[in-house]
Amino acid sequence: MIKIENLEKVYKTEEVETTALNGINLYVKEGEFVSIMGPSGCGKSTLLNVMGLLDKPESGSYKFIDTELLTLNDRERSNFRKRNMGFVFQNFNLIDELTVFENIELPLIYNKVPTGERKKLVNEIIERMNIVNRSGHFPQQLSGGQQQRVAVARALVTKPKLVLADEPTGNLDSSHGNEVMELLCELNETGTTIVMVTHSSHDASFSNRIINLKDGHVISEKINKSRNEELI
């Protein structure tokens, strides 16, 4: 589904130039759950941002199914993103002024889903995420694990083809972290493609394939046999 070739991303600040991505080649198959690992500063988040069309690389190619995404203009990128992608962040990034329900509803609004259907979809996902009795709460009134479930719910409510998660368990204790990982697995099992950045090999063990980055290069790739066997 995704084919990335020779991706390069350079950050220029006043004094230094940092090459965050240095010729990345990568593919992701439809329905796959891929983990990206590597030492801090190796370019994991940068790669994810590029994949999520939040950032523009200097050169390279990024094909999604058969569309080249790097040549799109801002508006087309926004449109493509809101229709096909969902995001989960390490620090949740829920809008503080909106309730749980409203936070989850937001992407549907951007996708111009009619009100009636919106309510139905949000309620469905709230039920699935097990946060029904929290739907009127504001983010600050929830625990970290609950907040992340809301964030996952928000990423999923539009039924995106691709979910991008940057250290989704980074701010959570292990039991809450596991809950989130199980959610992602469930999601993956229903056919959603997931690319996740993580530092935890425990989390990575939930995925089909682990890609290792170092200094902006892909240095190795490992198929997660146990998980793949499970799948089969």
Ligand X SMILES: Nc1ncnc2c1ncn2[C@@H]1O[C@H](COP(=O)(O)OP(=O)(O)OP(=O)(O)O)[C@@H](O)[C@H]1O
Residue 83 is a binding residue for other proteins (CB under 8 A): yes
Shortest distance in whole angstroms from residue 24 CB to ligand X: 11
Which 89-128 positions form the footprint of ligand X (CB under 6 A)?
A: none
Q: Which of 6, 18, 111, 143 binds ligand X (CB under 6 A)?
A: 18
Site residues for Mg ion, 41-70, by CB under 5 A, read 45
What the block records as the tokens of 173 is: 């204790």
- Among the residue ranges 26-34, 94-102, 188-196, 216-224, the one whose residues contact other proteins (CB under 8 A): 94-102
Does 96 interact with other proteins (rule: CB under 8 A)? yes
Judge whether 182 and 189 are in contact, CB under 8 Å: no
Question: Is position 220 an interface residue for ligand X (rule: CB under 6 A)?
Answer: no
* Coil, strand or helix at 224: coil
Alpha-carbon distance of 173 to 211, in angstroms, equals 24
Give the Cα separation of 65 and 192 in Å (integer).
14
Helices H / strands E in the chain, number of each: 8, 10
Query: Between β-strands 67-68 and 59-64, what pairing exists: parallel, antiparallel or unpaired?
Result: antiparallel
Which pair of tokens denotes residue 65?
Answer: 């199914």
Structure token pair of residue 109:
């609004």
Q: Is 169 in the site for Mg ion (CB under 5 A)?
A: no
Query: Least Å distance between CB 137 and ligand X?
Result: 29
- Tokens 């994810």, located at residue: 48
Site for Mg ion contains 35 (CB under 5 A)? no
* Per-residue binder mask for other proteins (CB under 8 A), 107-126, x = binder: x-xxx---------------
Residue 62: how many CB atoms within 10 A of its CB? Answer: 21
Contacts with other proteins, residue ranges (CB under 8 A): 45, 49, 52, 54-55, 74-75, 78-79, 81-83, 87, 89, 91, 93-98, 102, 105-107, 109-111, 154
